[in-house]
Structure 1
Amino acid sequence: MTSSYQSTRPPPRPAVDAGRLWAGGAATAVVAALIAVVGVLVGRGLFGVEVLAPQGAGVWGGARTGWYALGAGVLSLLATGLMHVLLLFTPRPMLFFGWVVALATLTAMLAPFVTENDVGSRFFTAGLNFILGVATGSLIAGSAHAAVRAAALPRAPRPY
């Protein structure tokens, strides 16, 4: 004789290692800030386009470069917080995170086109924002995969 066991409890949720997730988020913030700095140096130094500052501001681009790098790092930490909340409360956190990152990246790519900078500057800044979005999204998603442990499934009772 066999018996089927139906639990009235919802299936267990995976456990999130918050320390590991936030360590990955902090590393992502450093990478994003460095991508922003390197992007500005490449754009202004190699291609001579106005990225974040007028042409006369030099290769570093003035204080705006520092703010841009800081903003990239802070946005990476905000994305880590979003991922943490999604992992804890949503049914398909990676899917929702992918949508949020894709739409935020698209918004950041379109933002330079509402300015009155030259066309080269607009396209370069949009490309830099694309690289920042892809790097941030993929690194945080990878950190989240590493930080999630499968929950232990409850044992079915043994038949008598």
Structure 2
Amino acid sequence: MSAPQGGWAENDPTRRYPSAAEPRQRPSVDAAKLWAGGFGTAVVAALVALVGILLVRGVFGIHILSPSDAGAYGDATTTTYAGGAFGVAILATAVVHMLLLLMPRPMSFFVWIMLLVIAVGVLIPFTVVADLDSQIATAGLNLVIGLCILSLLNSVAGIATREPRQPGAAAY
């Protein structure tokens, strides 16, 4: 029997298939590094939300998340919004941890999930009754917070993941 073009035949005795006794090793995840980075990401996301609200309300004079007489900081909704950004980053850390443990090409899935979540965050302000400038400012702020979480967790996941050592490889 001749081999198909490309030189590989299904019954080629030199072809090596992994056996059940030799499972493919997955990269290991340093959970402490991942969650420390996730907590740091959450703090940064909350601060981005706070700075964004102060910029939009205080500098640009666009009243988002609270009435116009609430000042540059706004009211309790500002704190809730920053807390929400913190919570989303913690939830995203849990998602990336699960993906790293269970999925093939976990960061590809994570990027897609985050991009779709960011798209929802950008579109939601346009579904409520508000001034157009408030809707645009909120959508922009949601975009910046989402991209912040995506980029930081993408970096953290890379640092918290270690490739398995190959048999016979020297340890340094």
When normalised by structure 1's length, the TM-score is 0.92
Q: 1:30 aligns with which of 35, 43, 51?
A: 43
Aligned residues: 154
Q: How does 1:71-150 map to 2 (within 5 A)?
A: 71-150=84-163
1:82-133 deviation line (CA, Å, top 9, x unaligned): 0000000000100000011000000000000011110100001100000001
Q: How does 1:59-78 map to 2 (within 5 A)?
A: 59-78=72-91
Superposed displacement of residue 153, structure 1:
2.1
Matched-pair contact (CA < 8 Å) for 1:29–1:73: yes
* Structure label with greater radius of gyration: 2
Letter in 2 for 1:18: A
More helix by proportion, 1 or 2?
1
Q: 2:67 aligns with which of 38, 44, 54?
A: 54
1:45-71 deviation line (CA, Å, top 9, x unaligned): 011111111211111110000000001
Q: Which residue of 2 aligns with 1:158?
A: none
C-alpha root-mean-square deviation of aligned residues, in Å?
1.6
Q: Which residue of 1 aligns with 2:164?
A: 151
Letter in 1 for 2:146: G
Q: Which runs of 4+ in 1 moved over 6 A?
A: none
Matched-pair contact (CA < 8 Å) for 1:12–1:153: no
Superposed displacement of residue 5, structure 1:
5.7
CA distance in 2, matches of 1:125, 1:102: 17
Which structure carries more relative contact order (alpha carbon 8 Å, separation 6+)?
A: 1
- Matched residues, percent identical? 45
CA distance in 2, matches of 1:82, 1:41: 30
Superposed displacement of residue 7, structure 1:
3.5
